[in-house]
Each structure stands twice: as C-alpha cells, then as structure tokens.
Chains A and B, each alone.
Chain A
Amino acid sequence: MEFPIAGVTINPVLLAGVGFLVGLLGGFFGVGGGFLAGPLMFWTGVPMNFVVGTDLAHMTGKSIVALRRHRALGHVDVKLGLLMVLGTIPGIEIGVLVIEALKASEAVDLVIGSIYVVILLAIGTFTAIESRRALRMIATESMEIGEVLGFQGVARRMRSIRIPPMISLPASGLKEVSLWSVLGVGLVTGVLAGMLGVGGGFLRMPLLVYFLGVPTHIAVGTDLFEIMFSAGYGTLAHAINGNVDVLMALVMHTGAALGAQIGAVSTRYFAGPRIRLFFSVLPFVGAVVVLIRLLGGSPI
C-alpha cells in the first residue's frame, strides 16, 4: 500500500507488526523503543528524515498513555520535568536543523544511519555488560567493592559540580542541584530526539540517576513526562519541515498499543537479568539492519 506523504509503498500489516514489536519491548523493558523502531522503519524502505519525524509522532501517543499510569502512581517530578523541557526544546531545534542540513546535502541516510549504528552498538554492549554483572552477583550473592565504589564515585563527582543558580527538587529528594545540570540533561537528550527520532530514555535515565541523583522510580516517571513533551514538540517541529508521515505513525501505533499492554503483563511471568541479556541482542540486530541498508541492501 502506498503512503503518499513519505512516497513509499509498504504493507501496513508489516508496519503494525513493527509497532507491535516495539510496543512489546517497551512494555516489557520499560523503554520507549525508538532506538529499535527507527532501524526497522529504515529497513522497510522509509527515508531517514521520515523515520526520525514519524518515529517521534508514533511515540507521542504511547508516552501519554504510559505517563498517565506513572502520574497516578506519583512517580513524576513535575518541576524537574518542566525544567528539563526548557533544555529539550532548543535541543530538538538543533536536531531538526541538523536533519534539514543533511537533507539539503542528500546525506541524511548515511550520516544518521551511521550515528544509529554507533549508538545501537553502545547500548547493546552496555546492556550485555550490566546483565552479566547482575548474573554474576546473583551467582556469588555479593558485589565486588570496586563495582559499588566505582559507580558511587562517578556519581559523587558529577553531583559536586556547583554552578549557580542552585535549585531544590523536593519531589526527587534533592536539596541542591545546579539548574545548568538539569538544562544540560534536557539539551543533550533533546538533540538526540530531534536528530534520531528517539525518546532518549536510554541516555536520560542514567543521567537522571547518576548525574543528578534522582531516585530510579522517580526517574522512570519523569523520563516519560519529558518524552511526552520532547516527542510532541519534535513531532510538530519535524512535521512543519515535512518529515512526518502521520498515516504511517497511526498504523504503527495500532500494533504498539497492544504490544505495550502484553509486554507489561509479561513482566509478571518473565523477568530478571537473563531476559536483559537477551534484550542486549536487540540493539545489535538494529545495528545490523541499518548497516545492511547503508551498504546498499534492498528494503524488505
């Protein structure tokens, strides 16, 4: 079936299937899944500028629903989220400018595809290392002292950055944190969202927890709050520049809505570091898929 806005012909069932897979992973692992949706869309033959914009559009609907649940559980630091949004918006604009410049030089597929490959390999490697460490801890029922001190030391050094103005974030239990740190987290993840069409949770989460010191459960809810704004604003910014095929986003979301619920239910039955180790394979699959297209492989 032809999608006239992006100018590509794709089976809508395949697109809904991609949405289902991404939703399933999102529901199961608590990630947005944009890092996998992008490569899969690219694989189906969607031009990279439409991959970025359309991925953000499909994520907007999902994040609103997910946020509603976390908000009900009180896991959102609204003040932190809104302050991060102030950094995210210019970040997204930078990302959109980069995409437009790459479009003009006809290098968007190659450059963004290559960045995708690097980031996916990094995510896969990090997740595999973290899962293996968790499995080792379970096997030995202990944690090496270096592992504890290593992370705490990095976190402490990062939090010792004191550039005024300092603000307090009571909902996250933080008495003092530099406003610039919060804006910086928003800016960096905003650039990623605008440039790659991902929610940026894979980077925002560790930054919130280790860089700012936000408790993990608050970081998850606040991350979703932030994604809602970054994906929503990114959708508008990219749509104005002609990078969103909303029909494609709507079709993908039909699969994602079901996948997200099933994924969430599945966590009751399957969990633990072994599953995370399996998860670490998926970014590598995404990287291979993008590489195949970049090396001239035909779309499925």
Chain B
Amino acid sequence: MKDDDKRTFRRLARNFLIELLIYAALVIGYFVIVLRVLGDPLSQLFEDNLVGYAVASLGLVVAQGVVLDYVVTLLLDFFGLDRLD
C-alpha cells in the first residue's frame, strides 16, 4: 500500500470510529426516550386497543425509518464516508 493510500485509509478509519461513537451516543439517548417515555403508553395501548396499537406501530417504524436514514446520511457525509449512491 502506498503512503497516500495508507493516510487515506487511516483518515477514513478514524472518521468511521468517530461516527460510530457519535451514533452510539445518539442511540443510547434514543433508547432512554423510546423505552422510558413510549414504553408504558404503548404497552397500555397494546392491552386496550390492538387496532390503535397496530396503526401507531406502523406510523412509528415508518417515521423512524425516514429520520434515522437522514441522521446516518448526515453523519456519513459530514465525516466523508461516502454512500453507495
């Protein structure tokens, strides 16, 4: 491996580790919100109204899908870790 390639690889690896740490911190914060804040209301909805629970579940997974894609893309772009497309 040439020196330039080594430097690029080291930079990418460092940025990747930083990105992982930031993402891990975000995810831990998110766990607290989801499991503590949404846990009880969703469990109650599951017990009382399964149709309402089904609609809420679908809405939550779709919303999270879009938001997380945005966050991850932002982090990858910020640290120069390209996306496939």
Contact = CB atoms under 8 A, between A and B. Distances in A.
Given A61-B68, A242-B50, A264 B57 contact: no
Contact of A251 (B35, B46, B58, B73): B35
B75 to A, nearest CB: 9
Interface in A49-88: 57-58, 60-62, 64-65, 68-69, 72-73
B57 A62 contact: no
B3 interface: no
A235 interface: yes
Contacts of A60: 58, 61-62, 65
A12 B57 contact: no
B78 interface: no
Interface in B48-66: 50-51, 53-58, 60-62, 64-66
Contacts, number: 112
Interface string B2-38: 0000000000000000001001000100110011001
B51 A240 contact: yes
Interface stretch (A193-201, A213-221, A254-262): A254-262
A251 B34 contact: yes
B65 A253 contact: yes
A264 B84 CA distance: 5
Interface residues of A, number: 40
Contact of B34 (A64, A239, A247): A247
Nearest to A254: B27
Most chain A CB inside 10 Å of its own CB: which residue of B23, B55, B64: B64
Contacts of A249: 57, 61
Interface residues of B, number: 37
A253 B51 contact: no
B24 to A, nearest CB: 9
Interface in A236-256: 236, 239-242, 244, 246-247, 249-251, 253-255
Given A235-B57, A249-B57, A264-B83, A257 B69 contact: yes
A240 B50 CA distance: 5
B83 A246 contact: no
A257 B30 CA distance: 14
A20 B2 CA distance: 32
B30 A73 contact: no
A58 B61 contact: yes
Nearest to A64: B65
A65 B84 contact: no
Contacts of A61: 61-62, 64-66, 68
A1 B57 contact: no
B81 to A, nearest CB: 6
Contact of B72 (A72, A236, A258): A258
Contacts of A72: 85
B46 A236 contact: no
Interface of B: 20, 23, 27, 30-31, 34-35, 38-39, 42-43, 46, 50-51, 53-58, 60-62, 64-66, 68-69, 71-73, 76, 81-85
Interface of A: 1, 4-5, 12, 16, 27, 57-58, 60-62, 64-65, 68-69, 72-73, 232, 235-236, 239-242, 244, 246-247, 249-251, 253-255, 257-258, 261, 264-265, 267-268
21 contacts: A4-B39, A5-B42, A12-B35, A57-B57, A57-B61, A60-B62, A60-B65, A61-B65, A61-B66, A61-B68, A235-B61, A239-B50, A240-B54, A242-B46, A242-B50, A249-B57, A250-B34, A251-B31, A261-B76, A267-B84, A268-B82
